[in-house]
A and B are shown apart, each in its own frame.
Chain A
Amino acid sequence: MSALNASDRIAAGPGSRLLDPLVLQRVGNLELVARGVVEGFLHGLHRSPFTGRSLDFAEHRPYTPGDDLRRVDWALLARTDRYFVKEFEAETNANFTVYLDCSTSMKFGSRGVTKLEYGKFLAASLVYLARRQGDRIGAVTFDDEVRDWIPCSARNLDLILLTLDRTEALRPGDLGPAFESLVTKPVKRGIVAVVSDLYGDPEVLAPILGRLRAAGSDIVVFHLLDRAELDLPWEGAITMEDLETGVTLPVTPEALREEYRERIERHVREMGLALAGVGAEHTLVDTSVPLDYALYRYLTLRQERRRTGRWASPS
């Protein structure tokens, strides 16, 4: 049994049926998927920990006829005997950008849903959720270099969803150069969600993302892995073909399973440590579990950052 199963995976909560990747795969329309996921996810939260915290106080202004009396600051009236109304600053200045890995390794899926499809669902859901939160949203797809880049904007939801929908894994990926080109893009400070299977050297990738973090962005990395990538469940002699390089390798999985598990777990662990070292949030996502877990992690991160005041500031 993998250690990852026990510590990092979260069982699906109530309503997860609607967030099941296999169900979502049948929907076909990415916008519907994203809406369904987010609405279902939010509906499933019995008591949202985020209620009333979506707006920040900005300033007082004198009351003018027609203002909503509910917004009158009665305490200030008592102290000053003047009518002021509270102005709240909406969070529209928060920028959310999702980076989606579309290298050929993302084509893999052992149970009907590939990692790329899962990544699309997750990215769409995140941007939908962010937009619902009032954030400006952007998206980037990449393999060994940036393929599509949609800057942050409040009006880009449809474009992002369309772009994500059309994204295909056509080329092998090289995360190092891809991340290098990502951090050089003029991205506004905000939240960056990276969706990738992260087949690369943690010691190389983490510093690059660290530079993004240093530039003022908060980074959450969704490390997508299929369950078969974690467990290597096959039996008998098989020939494995590397989706990235095309290299084939005859193996006997049962003979290699334990050692393979140790190495993939070590890789995930080292990736998490390396990313934490640069202030990025690392989350392993098993593509067989519903999407709400990833969304939950995102909102949790967002809330924690807001609560601790470290939001959008380097740690």
Chain B
Amino acid sequence: MGLAFLTPLFLAGLAALAVPVVIHLIRRHRGESLAFPSLMFLRELPVRSVRRRRLRDWPLLLVRLAALALIVLAFARPVLQGAEEEEAGGEGFREVVVVLDRSWTMRLGDRWERALEGVEGVLAGLVTPDRVSLVLYEGSGEVVVEPTLDSSGVRAVLDTLAPGWGPARIGAGLQAAAGVLEASDRERREVFLAGDLNRRSWEASSGDGLPRGARLDLLDLGDDRAGLAAPVDVSFQYQIVDGRQRAHPRARILALGELPGREVEVVLNLDGREVERQRVELAEEGAVPVEFTPFFVPVEGAQGSVSVELPGWSSPLPPWRFVLSPDELRRVVLVDPSTPGDDRGVYLRSALGLTGGVPIRVERRGGTALSVTDLEGVHLVVLNDVPLPGGAPGERLRERIEAGMGLIVIAGPRSDPAAWEAGWSAFLPGQVGAPVETRTERGGRLARIDGDHPVFAAFGGAGRAGLGDPRFFRYRSFEPDTAGAGGAVRIAARFDDGTPALVERRVGEGRVLVWMTSMDAVWSDLPLNPAFVPLVQEMASHAAPPSGLAPAYLVGQPLDPVFLRRRAGILDEAEGAPPALLVPPDGRGVTIPAGAGRLPPDLREPGHYTVRPEAQPGAAGWGFAVNVDMREADPSRMEASELAAGAGAGGAPATAGAVPVDGVEGSGARLEERERRQSGWLLLLLAAALLLAAEPLVANRFRGLAERFADSDVKV
């Protein structure tokens, strides 16, 4: 049987119990003042300071303190828990799962403190037979405290917790909670979820819903206006000038809560030195771009960061970090059959040559021939309106694709899909067919663009509208390979008649992009539109294997140990390959053994990471940066009812209509009802009144005794 209080803050009034004692001691210490003829004898005597503080009339003091304590307890409205449940034979015992959002957005404002306060409210509402468990979720859900009857274990864990740096996946948390509930034999199964209910954290979630009949209480912590101003991303435009790599950094600064409209300073640091500082006004909506002065990347590379500074405001996020390496030029082989008299490939060649988000060195191969040696050390091959290579070059090309190389196929009028080798069928996203004429003279247009596809992600907002301007008069038909094994097919864009325009297939570590029309001004006017150059560059960036620049590693993102070891200069293929060491920002290295499969994600905090051979502590290794996933900063939130409906098993809501937005209220309401039935406060007040009534009797009795003793002392 436990004791809870409906208004526990009143218990602070118990501190008032110390007041009479303190006053008593203070008054005793000072004592009454008495004039005396001479202290010449008293001053010679040692002072007894201990007895000075001794309390007299203990019974009287205790009576008064007890009365005060009872009054305070009455105001705190005590509730005896457990008695009713025991009488009910245990049928009402609950299985309570506390699901706590631990993503980085919980660092904003006082969300974490409010979450802990809410959880404490739930724990306080537990009765002794109730079981409670604790689930934390970021990118994944984890049961950190298994079901227990002792809520102190949960409290002990909570005391050691702090928000992490990863994204939130509500579904992962609910899935972990569902696992606990399904294993429970309790009839009353409840989930208390405390999080910021970010819509993205729900959309990115997957997993089964809660068991039918489960109750879901939500504590929405995202309804505040917690201020945030931070870089959403930092990108670089590269140029090769005099053989040196010149980077042009750009940052996008997002502001939330109370900060939009304020003026902040955006600081660019390189290798620990401040390079540039710009003052910008934060946008009311969206991110505000900031362009820094271009600079040459040092030969030895550089680590840098971009941070936002505002006087009187401290960012809950670390700076956005990046790593620059001049040796990360990506080689692109462009097979271009153009001739001086028919230079159709000039558009594509020029667009690739401009380079963009990645430093690219384009090597052109004339004609249609592509040798095996041409493919060594190449990151991307662009076949501009030529047939796919066959024979040994084709086989080597496929091997390289599986190993991570990219391939862009421009299926123009001379690409001749019918002549492609059968070996390519497993590498292509589908069957490329014959040319198709558009049904209108005005030509077809791009439509149904997948905005989440990396190629088109950069064409956000109004920029995506520019992709609808080009007119396409002819393109090839395409049948997606839905049954194709070994890779996922994704249609990134379609023409307005539904014919796929850009299709992707992942093969092994590589990608194959097929563009269903030409990149010249014959089948379309695309090259004459502003969207052409960025489209080509985005396609090249996406198709090429991930470079060592890795500007966009995010917390929680899985790492490929093979790739890491390769970057550290350790080849797995070698016999007895030594292990590599991944050194996160805190310096506590993690060994990457040779031959291991994928490691569990270990990017738990933002910062600069290094990979190097474990046996060579002095080796520079390969560095990369990890940042917080700023997509979590999306301010759009889910409605509680919406989430409850989605959390139900099989789409059915979990206890429809029983979803208080504030979970603490749900527990509190039961507690209040119980308190009302027990009326313990009334009994306590009556007891206090009785004590106060008896106080004069006690006072007279003990004071009378004291006076009698005093009199007898004088008479002696």
Cα-based distance from A244 to B35 in the complex (angstroms): 10
Across-interface contacts of B38 in A (CB, < 8 A): 105, 197, 199, 242-244
Q: Name the one of B41, B45, B52, B716 contacting A237, with C-beta atoms under 8 angstroms.
A: B52
Closest A-B pairs by Cβ, 4 of them? A237-B31, A105-B37, A238-B31, A255-B48
Cβ-based interface call for A252 (8 A) = yes
Cβ-based interface call for A213 (8 A) = no
Q: Name the one of B39, B48, B51 contacting A249, with C-beta atoms under 8 angstroms.
A: B39
Across-interface contacts of B588 in A (CB, < 8 A): none
Pairwise interchain contact B44-A242, C-beta atoms closer than 8 A: no
Given contacts A255-B51, A260-B42, contact A239 B33 (CB under 8 A): yes
Residue of B nearest to A106 (CB): B37
Cβ-based interface call for B714 (8 A) = yes
Interface residues of B in 22-66 (CB under 8 A from A): 28-45, 47-48, 51-52, 56
Cβ-based interface call for B156 (8 A) = no
Interchain nearest-CB distance for B712 vs A (Å): 11
Pairwise interchain contact B52-A243, C-beta atoms closer than 8 A: no
Across-interface contacts of B30 in A (CB, < 8 A): 237, 239, 250
* Contact flags A247-278 to B (C-beta < 8 A → 1, else 0): 11111100110011001100100000000000
Q: Name the one of B36, B39, B44, B48 contacting A252, with C-beta atoms under 8 angstroms.
A: B48
Pairwise interchain contact B710-A235, C-beta atoms closer than 8 A: yes
20 contacts between A and B (CB under 8 A): A226-B37, A231-B714, A234-B34, A235-B713, A236-B31, A236-B56, A237-B52, A238-B31, A239-B32, A239-B33, A240-B33, A240-B36, A241-B33, A242-B37, A249-B43, A250-B29, A250-B52, A252-B48, A252-B52, A260-B42
Cβ-based interface call for A75 (8 A) = no
Across-interface contacts of A234 in B (CB, < 8 A): 34
Pairwise interchain contact A251-B51, C-beta atoms closer than 8 A: no
Interface residues of A in 209-233 (CB under 8 A from B): 226, 229, 231, 233
Across-interface contacts of B41 in A (CB, < 8 A): 260, 263-264, 267
Cα-based distance from A245 to B31 in the complex (angstroms): 20
Interchain nearest-CB distance for A296 vs B (Å): 25
Cβ-based interface call for A63 (8 A) = no
Pairwise interchain contact B34-A238, C-beta atoms closer than 8 A: yes
Interface residues of B in 190-242 (CB under 8 A from A): none
Pairwise interchain contact B42-A240, C-beta atoms closer than 8 A: yes
Cα-based distance from A293 to B33 in the complex (angstroms): 33
Given contacts A252-B52, A255-B48, contact A197 B37 (CB under 8 A): yes
Q: Name the one of A105, A226, A238, A260 contacting B45, with C-beta atoms under 8 angstroms.
A: A260
A226, A263, A267 — most chain B CB neighbours (10 Å): A263
B42, B56, B713 — most chain A CB neighbours (10 Å): B42
Cα-based distance from A280 to B411 in the complex (angstroms): 142
| A-B contacts besides A236-B28, A238-B32, A240-B35, 14 pairs, CB < 8 Å | A105-B37, A107-B35, A197-B38, A199-B37, A229-B37, A236-B56, A237-B31, A237-B52, A238-B34, A250-B30, A256-B45, A260-B41, A263-B41, A263-B44
Count of interface residues, chain B, beta-carbon cutoff 8 Å = 27
Pairwise interchain contact A247-B32, C-beta atoms closer than 8 A: no
Pairwise interchain contact A241-B35, C-beta atoms closer than 8 A: yes
Across-interface contacts of A236 in B (CB, < 8 A): 28, 31-32, 56
Across-interface contacts of A243 in B (CB, < 8 A): 35-38
Cα-based distance from A306 to B48 in the complex (angstroms): 52
Cβ-based interface call for A58 (8 A) = no
Cβ-based interface call for A115 (8 A) = yes
Cβ-based interface call for A108 (8 A) = yes
Pairwise interchain contact B40-A199, C-beta atoms closer than 8 A: yes
Cα-based distance from A233 to B56 in the complex (angstroms): 18
* Contact flags B694-714 to A (C-beta < 8 A → 1, else 0): 000000000000000010011
Interchain nearest-CB distance for A171 vs B (Å): 14
Cα-based distance from A248 to B657 in the complex (angstroms): 75
Interchain nearest-CB distance for A101 vs B (Å): 11
Cα-based distance from A4 to B400 in the complex (angstroms): 120
Given contacts A199-B40, A249-B39, A260-B42, contact A240 B34 (CB under 8 A): yes
B31, B48, B51, B713 — most chain A CB neighbours (10 Å): B31
Residue of B nearest to A103 (CB): B37
Pairwise interchain contact A241-B28, C-beta atoms closer than 8 A: no
Pairwise interchain contact B28-A237, C-beta atoms closer than 8 A: yes
Count of interface residues, chain A, beta-carbon cutoff 8 Å = 37
Q: Name the one of B34, B48, B56, B716 contacting A256, with C-beta atoms under 8 angstroms.
A: B48
Cβ-based interface call for A11 (8 A) = no
Pairwise interchain contact A248-B33, C-beta atoms closer than 8 A: yes
A1, A106, A226, A234 — most chain B CB neighbours (10 Å): A234
Residue of A nearest to B716 (CB): A1
Cα-based distance from A267 to B42 in the complex (angstroms): 13
Given contacts A239-B31, A239-B32, contact A247 B714 (CB under 8 A): no
B30, B33, B41 — most chain A CB neighbours (10 Å): B41
Across-interface contacts of B31 in A (CB, < 8 A): 236-239, 250
Pairwise interchain contact A108-B716, C-beta atoms closer than 8 A: no
Cα-based distance from A260 to B41 in the complex (angstroms): 7
Given contacts A1-B716, A236-B31, A264-B41, contact A108 B48 (CB under 8 A): no
Pairwise interchain contact B37-A259, C-beta atoms closer than 8 A: no
Interchain nearest-CB distance for A308 vs B (Å): 36
* Contact flags B663-679 to A (C-beta < 8 A → 1, else 0): 00000000000000000
Interchain nearest-CB distance for B561 vs A (Å): 77
Across-interface contacts of B710 in A (CB, < 8 A): 235
Cα-based distance from A251 to B47 in the complex (angstroms): 7
Across-interface contacts of A108 in B (CB, < 8 A): 35-37
Across-interface contacts of A242 in B (CB, < 8 A): 36-39
Cα-based distance from A103 to B365 in the complex (angstroms): 125
Across-interface contacts of A249 in B (CB, < 8 A): 39, 42-43
Across-interface contacts of B48 in A (CB, < 8 A): 252, 255-256
Across-interface contacts of A256 in B (CB, < 8 A): 42, 45, 48
Across-interface contacts of A259 in B (CB, < 8 A): 45
Cα-based distance from A252 to B716 in the complex (angstroms): 19
B40, B48, B52 — most chain A CB neighbours (10 Å): B40
Across-interface contacts of A240 in B (CB, < 8 A): 33-36, 39, 42
Cα-based distance from A243 to B45 in the complex (angstroms): 18
Interchain nearest-CB distance for A6 vs B (Å): 12
Given contacts A249-B39, A259-B45, contact A238 B33 (CB under 8 A): yes
* Contact flags A45-82 to B (C-beta < 8 A → 1, else 0): 00000000000000000000000000000000000000
Cα-based distance from A244 to B41 in the complex (angstroms): 13
Interchain nearest-CB distance for A46 vs B (Å): 31
Across-interface contacts of A115 in B (CB, < 8 A): 37
Across-interface contacts of A252 in B (CB, < 8 A): 48, 51-52
Across-interface contacts of A235 in B (CB, < 8 A): 710, 713
Cα-based distance from A243 to B38 in the complex (angstroms): 6
Across-interface contacts of B37 in A (CB, < 8 A): 105-108, 115, 197, 199, 226, 229, 242-244
Interchain nearest-CB distance for B56 vs A (Å): 8
Cα-based distance from A231 to B36 in the complex (angstroms): 13
Cα-based distance from A313 to B566 in the complex (angstroms): 128
B30, B45, B56 — most chain A CB neighbours (10 Å): B45
Interchain nearest-CB distance for B29 vs A (Å): 6
Cα-based distance from A251 to B39 in the complex (angstroms): 11
Interchain nearest-CB distance for B26 vs A (Å): 11
Residue of A nearest to B706 (CB): A235
Interface residues of A in 6-42 (CB under 8 A from B): none
Across-interface contacts of B39 in A (CB, < 8 A): 240, 242, 245, 247, 249
Residue of B nearest to A228 (CB): B36
Interchain nearest-CB distance for B483 vs A (Å): 98
Across-interface contacts of A260 in B (CB, < 8 A): 41-42, 45
Across-interface contacts of B51 in A (CB, < 8 A): 252, 255
Residue of A nearest to B44 (CB): A263
Cα-based distance from A153 to B31 in the complex (angstroms): 51
Cα-based distance from A240 to B43 in the complex (angstroms): 10
Interchain nearest-CB distance for A267 vs B (Å): 7
Cα-based distance from A106 to B37 in the complex (angstroms): 7
Interchain nearest-CB distance for A126 vs B (Å): 22
